[in-house]
Structure formats: structure tokens, C-alpha cells
Amino acid sequence: MKYLPRIEATKPEVFCIGLSHQTAPVGIRERYALPPSPELLRGLAGLAGIGEVVVLSTCNRVEIYTSGSAEDARVSLRTRLAECEKSCPEDFSHFYEFRAGQAISHLFRVACGMESMVFGETEILGQVKTSYAQAVSAGTVGKILNTIFQRAFQTAKQVRSTTNITRGSVSVGSVAVDLAERIFGNLRSCHVMIMGAGETSEKTARALLSRGARGLFVSNRSFHRAATLAAELGGLAIHFDEWLTRLNDTDIIISSTSAPHYIVRRGQIENSLFLRRERPLFLIDLAVPRDVDPDVDQLDAVFRYDIDSLEGIAREAMNQRRKDIHLCEEIIAKHTHEVLHKLLSHVNINDKTHALERELQTNLSCNPELLGESKPPA
């Protein structure tokens, strides 16, 4: 028999309990990682005070959103969470709880990537959508959570399209990939060479391969290490002194050796230019001290980026994202206010003790800008 949410039977108060990378280390988060199976969702929905439920469980956060009676839901959920394996009472100091407008606003911030480890990342929106879809298919979503989650998706879409918080790359690997795409367009015809099998160069190579780069050479002083990495990434290991012979077949070189001097010199690249026939060469120098002679910058169709320049671009992108925080907050406040109004219109307005109405009044008195009254600049 299909589970029917008990929306009408309970007061439509929204409640959220959870913990995230901001409040708890991974050792605690993993204890409460709840795979949102239909059985779990229906089990939670059967607890006292809970009419509807959605569980958002990612590597960085576990959150449970409910509608019903907030106080009863709080007690039921804390009891249920205490039943998790390896749970201990001290863990509850890491949990946060939100009600009504705060819970809605929190969900909107999560969906927009504002609570993510990498500020503005977009993967979280997909995870919120998946969690919502799982709850819908388990039949634990009704009118209230449906309204709130649909509005969360709208809010995230608006924030993405009207602000810069998702723009630009904020890690060295993704900056390198973006630059490669601006040089070569499609990476499907590109061959990558790793010189020195370091961790960052491996990550960067993986990122390039995931965007379609079709070939990989791995060159390392220890051939064994090169062979291992090449096997792992589906590339070809070559001896360290052979890299120059493969230069004409290579479009992108990622270098991170521990050599105390330049490995890639201007003369070596210059000699290969005629044979390359105007094909660009992108040199990603992640080594300190640098592996690539900065003089190669003078050569046509050769582009060199060292670790400082890549990190500089990533930092600038993050600054750009953070500049738009206040715009995101405004959008979220507007949507939260509208959702609260919409939910309020669904409940009995004569019930003056209703928590949602109280919350709305509190929100309005604390945030006069929600009513269009301008706030003096801080």
C-alpha cells in the first residue's frame, strides 16, 4: 500500500535537523550518514510529529527536513538519530536545528551552494533534487515540502543566472582545464603529457581526461611510478629522457618534477614549432622550483602557466563569487518571505498561535527590507 503523508493531521510547521562539514568532522558525520531508502523515509514519516520528510545525505552534510509539529519532530528525530550505530550523546552538540522560516532559508542556502565546502559549487543542487525525488517516490512529500523544495530549485536557478557565485573555477585543476578549453576548444583531439607524477598533476590530468582529452603520456624519473600511474589513467609510460621525442604529439604538458633547474627550455620548444604547424602548446608548470623556463612565453602559440598564476585565477574567481553574497541573500530572503506567505495562506489564519505565522511576524519585524523598506547601509 502506498504511504500517504499525514499532512492534514498535523500542524504544518517546518523543521530541519542536521550536521555538516561546518559543524562536525567527518568521523562524526559518517555515523549519521543516512541512505535515503524508501524504508528509512517511510519510517521517519511514521514518527510522532512528522507529516512529510526529505533526507539530504551527502559526503558533507546530513539533513532531515520535516513538516508537521516541529517540537514533536525534534524529539522523535533526536531519539531516532541516537539509535544510529556508534552514536553518542556528545555528538548532538554538533547538530543544528532550524524551524519554519529559518529552515526554509537554510534549505535555499544549501541548494544555492552557499553552505558548501567550495562556495557556490553546483553539484549540491543535483543532490538536493535527488533527495527530493527519492522522497517523492517514497511518498513522504506532500503539499508543504513540495512547495518549499520547488521554490528552493527556483531560488538556486535565479541565484545562478543573476549572480556570479557559480562563475569561474576555484581549484588549480579546474582552472587548468578551463584554460585548455579556451585554447583548444574541444579537448577530444588533445594529448596530455605528465612530467613528474605528483598528486596535483595527477588530479589535473584526470580532470583533462574527464573532459575528453584522448591520449596521455606519463614520464617520471622512476619508470615504475610512471608505469603505475599510466596504467591507472589509461596512458602510456615513457622514460624521463624520452619526453622531448614525444613533444610533437603532445598538446598539454603538466609538469611537477622536483628538479632544481628548468626541465623544459625555450630552445627545445622553439625547435619543435615548425613541425607543430601552428598547433598550440599549453604548459602547466605545477613545480616549485619551476620546471618550465619563463622565456617560452615569448614563443608564438606557446602558453605557460605556473602554480602562482593558476592559484591567482582560482582566488580571483572565489573573490568574484563572494562579492555577490549580498545579492544571493536578498534573493533568498525574498523567496523565503514568499514561501512563508504561501504556506500561511494554507493554514487556518484564526489560529493565532500557529508557529508559521509567528515566524513570519518575527521575520518581518527583524527584516523590514522584506516589506520593501530600505535598510541604511552598514
Least distance from other proteins to the Cβ atom of residue 155, Å = 19
Size of the site for other proteins (CB under 8 A): 26
Cell numbers placing 350: 484564526
Q: Which is nearer to other proteins, 242 or 297 (CB)?
A: 297
Could you give the string, one character per residue 241-280, with x where binding to other proteins holds by CB under 8 A and - elsewhere?
--------------------------------xx--xxxx
Q: Which is nearer to other proteins, 46 or 312 (CB)?
A: 312
Distances (CA, A) of 99 to 213, 234, 322: 48, 50, 27
Q: Which is nearer to other proteins, 146 or 174 (CB)?
A: 174
Please identify which residue in 118, 136, 227, 301 interacts with other proteins, judged by CB under 8 A: 301
Q: Which is nearer to other proteins, 217 or 282 (CB)?
A: 282
Which residues between 139 and 198 bind other proteins (CB under 8 A)?
164, 167-168, 178-179, 181-185
Q: Which is nearer to other proteins, 16 or 172 (CB)?
A: 172
Least distance from other proteins to the Cβ atom of residue 109, Å = 24
Give dist(CA 214, CA 216) in Å, integer: 7
277 near 247, Cβ under 8 Å? no
| Bridge-based pairing state of the strands 302-306 and 281-285 | parallel
Segment lying near other proteins (by CB under 8 A), choices 12-20, 299-307, 322-330, 351-359: 299-307
Among the listed residues 59, 88, 328, 366, the single catalytic one is 59
Least distance from other proteins to the Cβ atom of residue 3, Å = 43
Segment lying near other proteins (by CB under 8 A), choices 36-44, 116-124, 303-311, 326-334: 303-311
Residues 29, 30, 31, 36, CA torsion sign: positive
Distances (CA, A) of 186 to 135, 181, 282: 38, 6, 14
Cβ contacts of 64 within 8 Å, gap of 6 or more: 16, 17, 18, 34, 44, 53, 54, 55, 56, 77
Least distance from other proteins to the Cβ atom of residue 315, Å = 11
Q: Which is nearer to other proteins, 300 or 373 (CB)?
A: 300
Q: Which is nearer to other proteins, 90 or 300 (CB)?
A: 300
Please identify which residue in 313, 328, 355, 356 interacts with other proteins, judged by CB under 8 A: 313
Least distance from other proteins to the Cβ atom of residue 174, Å = 12
Which residues between 314 and 353 bind other proteins (CB under 8 A)?
316, 320
Please identify which residue in 15, 108, 217, 305 interacts with other proteins, judged by CB under 8 A: 305
Question: Is 16 tagged catalytic?
Answer: no
Q: Which is nearer to other proteins, 179 or 264 (CB)?
A: 179
Number of C-alpha atoms within 13 angstroms, CB side, residue 171?
13
Least distance from other proteins to the Cβ atom of residue 286, Å = 15
Give dist(CA 265, CA 89) in Å, integer: 61
Residue 300 binds other proteins, judged by CB under 8 A:
yes
Least distance from other proteins to the Cβ atom of residue 120, Å = 14
Q: How many CB atoms lie within 10 A of CB 253?
A: 27
Least distance from other proteins to the Cβ atom of residue 324, Å = 12
Segment lying near other proteins (by CB under 8 A), choices 211-219, 312-320, 346-354, 368-376: 312-320
Cell numbers placing 207: 580532470
Residues identified as active-site: 59
User: By the criterion CB under 8 A, which residues form the site for other proteins?
Assistant: 164, 167-168, 178-179, 181-185, 273-274, 277-280, 297, 300-301, 303, 305, 309, 312-313, 316, 320
